[in-house]
Structure 1
């Protein structure tokens, strides 16, 4: 049965879309694939329009202004009609039958979200590398050798600290439309909030122990993920949006805020290490401002769960420069 909506944000992606659409449409479970053209200056819309003439399963949504991948994903989510939602980037490489496999897993388990394994590649012809080390370790701890595990957030809270990729998750559309899922309008880190929203609002989480996609990581500055200019300060808006999510759910904050602190420590250290050196002093000030809301109750709750994270977060609040790695480019 065709039940899954696939959403692809696209900006100047004309050379990638034929391959992406062919791989998506080879899955019988796909009801529709919605390509959201983010005001491309190439022939992206023409490529998609040609596909819409071939099959009603392809739909084109045009953004009124260039707003970034997050806004495009949100527009696709709002336009979707499927029972399940899957967000794919135009340059990433689905393995054969990936969406069918993920759709079967979420339908079988009744989970709100099912996450699955991925690989890392430089291009379609390069060797496949394992998942990010943090994801590999968490996956092994939570899933082990089980082909498919279903658990609640209290049991599997460590899943919150996995990398905030949108393309290794399939989600229940009605559940997340009802609770207001969106992707941030920031140029970078636009998937941080959605990652936390999805897991914090999940009643049941499925972990599918299958490698279903290869993420293409372009070298240099070919991707926004490799951009460490002032644009990287978008992280603070993304973190503030997650803070608001916790503020609205005190019960969830008491149990799971420690994982958000761990996530902050990891991502802020990564940015600090890669950031342009001249931006570092301002970055440190912004971190200390961001941690100003880390109060005594948060510290005590975190200390009972993970002493190291609780203490390091306290240092991060008062003297971030003593905790984070200096910019490597400064050496």
Structure 2
């Protein structure tokens, strides 16, 4: 089916947004999404309310009166953003889908351009964008993290956009696991069984790996599609370092389950997975409540116990000898 016919039959873009106590942010984001229709794109927006205790649902119902493309799913139990995305995903009917957050800023003109580029190449299943941070308390902007900038520059080589195979784009597995900087070809990922993790912390790791490793081709774009708002209160799950942080290992285990179920992918990309696990552990360990250190180390040891000897040998001889040494040292100490 060509793009013109698809526009007659259904939306071009589905935007899936988990909502939890976001009443102040919803009108602006809904406006940003449906402003895309001015460029000729038909939009579906699915907001799944994850048991908000504020007036988020009332705000959404009011907005839906003005925007017929806005659909609301209500949940009475708070299960986290990963479950919300997974529950909303079957309802997506657009040719493309983006998973977004309620309190961030969407740059719709970038999505419109990417959809045009992806329509021109039906083998491209995901577009990965640059992003920026805004510090809410100062309204100041910062670029992406340094490592993310480095990865994008290595791939783009000064250009606006590049397209390549998963093998050529494997550096992106080390990109920060955000859900909102990727535009997905809906039908392809539904057939492939893409989903997000079941944990409240780091549920986006599995979605990130699915979106890259299940793609036929990947498009990387220099354009910024999202301004991620960093809130000063420090009460989001990213900044949680109590017992909930231990579920980081559940998220990693779930992602490794995916790799173990596809041995060819595991052999080719295991060193990227173990680099991610090592990096997350190094980041979380000094921030964790000291009372949880023993549990934390035990969980990491359990995860390392799944390390395949062949993968370890390939790491040591071909990919990342220092990483292999670090993993072995942790296991044998």
Short-chain TM bin? over 0.9
Measure the CA separation in 2 of the matches of 1:273 and 1:299: 26
* 2:277 corresponds to 1:268: no
Measure the CA separation in 2 of the matches of 1:123 and 1:168: 19
Measure the CA separation in 1 of the matches of 2:309 and 2:99: 38
SS at match of 2:216: coil
* 2:213 corresponds to 1:200: yes
| Residues 67-110 of structure 1, C-alpha deviations (whole Å, 9 max, x = no match) | 11111111111111111110110111123523323322332333
| Residues 151-191 of structure 1, C-alpha deviations (whole Å, 9 max, x = no match) | 11111211101110000001111111112111122111111
Counterpart among 291, 297, 305 of residue 278 in structure 1: 291
Partner residue, 2:4: none
Partner residue, 2:3: none
Counterpart among 125, 130, 134 of residue 147 in structure 2: 134
Residues 8 and 73 in structure 1, CA contact (< 8 A), matched pair in contact too: yes
Q: Which runs of 5+ in 1 are unaligned?
A: 320-331
Measure the CA separation in 1 of the matches of 2:74 and 2:105: 24
Partner residue, 1:115: 128
* 2:305 corresponds to 1:296: no
Partner residue, 2:44: 32
> Which residues of 2 match residues 138-217 of structure 1 at below 5 A?
138-217=151-230
SS at match of 2:196: coil
Partner residue, 1:328: none
Judged with a 3 Å threshold, the aligned counterparts in structure 2 of structure 1 residues 282 and 93 are, in CA distance, closer, same or farther, namely same
Judged with a 3 Å threshold, the aligned counterparts in structure 2 of structure 1 residues 291 and 44 are, in CA distance, closer, same or farther, namely same
Measure the CA separation in 1 of the matches of 2:265 and 2:108: 38
Partner residue, 1:287: 300
Residues 15 and 99 in structure 2, CA contact (< 8 A), matched pair in contact too: yes
* 2:4 corresponds to 1:4: no
SS at match of 1:40: coil
SS at match of 1:97: helix
User: More deviation in 2-11 or 95-104?
Assistant: 95-104
SS at match of 1:281: helix
Counterpart among 71, 94, 102 of residue 90 in structure 1: 102
Judged with a 3 Å threshold, the aligned counterparts in structure 2 of structure 1 residues 109 and 98 are, in CA distance, closer, same or farther, namely same
Judged with a 3 Å threshold, the aligned counterparts in structure 2 of structure 1 residues 76 and 288 are, in CA distance, closer, same or farther, namely same
Partner residue, 1:23: 32
Deviation at 1:30, TM superposition (A): 4.5
SS at match of 1:208: strand
Deviation at 1:132, TM superposition (A): 1.1
Measure the CA separation in 2 of the matches of 1:229 and 1:143: 39
SS at match of 1:300: helix
SS at match of 1:14: coil
Deviation at 1:313, TM superposition (A): 2.1
SS at match of 1:37: strand
Q: TM-score, normalised by structure 1?
A: 0.92
* 2:242 corresponds to 1:250: no
User: More deviation in 60-69 or 41-50?
Assistant: 60-69
Judged with a 3 Å threshold, the aligned counterparts in structure 2 of structure 1 residues 30 and 89 are, in CA distance, closer, same or farther, namely farther
- Please give the root-mean-square deviation of Cα atoms over the aligned residues, in Å: 1.5
Deviation at 1:124, TM superposition (A): 8.3
Measure the CA separation in 2 of the matches of 1:30 and 1:183: 25
Residues 6 and 30 in structure 1, CA contact (< 8 A), matched pair in contact too: no
Partner residue, 1:314: 328
Measure the CA separation in 2 of the matches of 1:107 and 1:50: 34
